[in-house]
Amino acid sequence: MPTTYKRLKLMNASGCNCTTKDELIELYNCSACDMIVSKSCTIKSREGNPSPRYYETDTLSINSTGLRNKGLHYYLSLVKYFEEMNKASRQEKRYIISYADLENIKMFIAIVENHYIVHKIPMYFEINLSCPNIPGKGQIGYDFAETHNLLDTLFNGFKPGLITNNKINIGVKLPAYFDAPHFEAMSEILNNYPLTHITCINSLGNGFVFNDKVKQAVAGNDGYGGIGGSVIKPFGLSNVRRFRGLIRSEIAIYGCGGITCLNDVYEYELCGADVVQIGTELIREGINIFNKLKQ
């Protein structure tokens, strides 16, 4: 590995070790984890799909949580907590709230605005355009017209100054794209908005895996789920590389998919990532994966 390697920032991927306050605190307290993101949440808490929701092999994982989370207000309540933690420890570890309840985006705007008015603390969000595990719901990131409408509503819905003055900061988590025209179409949309970042990629939707008893590995969504792990790394790399050549340079790219070792991080850097998110390997190894990668 060349000596010119610069250590990218490391963080968890949404959905991994980040549903509860205790899990998020564990990530925060790991010095090698540079940023943290919550479980993708909805306005109200959700129980999600039935168990088992997760299964893994040596090369892949499949999950079908069905947006199991504690609700937007729960994750907003932690903004002040982590702000105080940052002040006490004299650091600036970013806490990002992942949000996926896209049918209630106007309610999301109203709740977030009110939270800022009360607390006056800058907030960071990752809007999940790519949850693959809700029965009967498609990934909005594959509907370009609907994505454009959603982002228009989102960025034009906040009061003037909240977005442009970095009081409310918004990025998006994208599904994997496979055809060049799709990258171009999505980039044309994304370049219209003051995004902090894009995350490439979410798990590959609608995979099916048998467990070691030759039964469907996950119970929810008729056994279909999002595929992660080392098997999806080529798609993560290609999406980061494609988007880095198409979106504005000031929009950061968070690479995600199949990272297990430092060489994987380096390959994401070569493709243009600014930050990398760890998912399957975090579940497999625990937070020690961050220490391993940092060393």
Residues with a catalytic annotation lie at 130-131
Element (DSSP H or E) covering residue 269: helix 262-271
Q: What is the largest CA-CA distance in the chain?
A: 56
SS3 label, residue 200: strand
Tell me the DSSP string of 139-156: -GGG-HHHHHHHHHHHHH
Strand 61-63 to 54-56 pairing: antiparallel
CA atoms of 35 and 242, how far apart (whole Å) = 24
Q: Give the burial class of 90: count Cβ atoms within 10 A of its Cβ; 0-12 exposed, 13-18 middle, 19 or more buried.
A: exposed
Kindly report the backbone phi and psi dihedral angles of residue 227, in degrees, each rounded to the nearest multiple of 5, phi listed first: -95, 125
Q: What is residue 231's DSSP assignment?
A: G
Kindly report the backbone phi and psi dihedral angles of residue 146, in degrees, each rounded to the nearest multiple of 5, phi listed first: -70, -35
Q: Which two tokens stand for residue 242?
A: 């494609």
Q: Give the burial class of 88: count Cβ atoms within 10 A of its Cβ; 0-12 exposed, 13-18 middle, 19 or more buried.
A: exposed
Q: Which two tokens stand for residue 135?
A: 């029965």
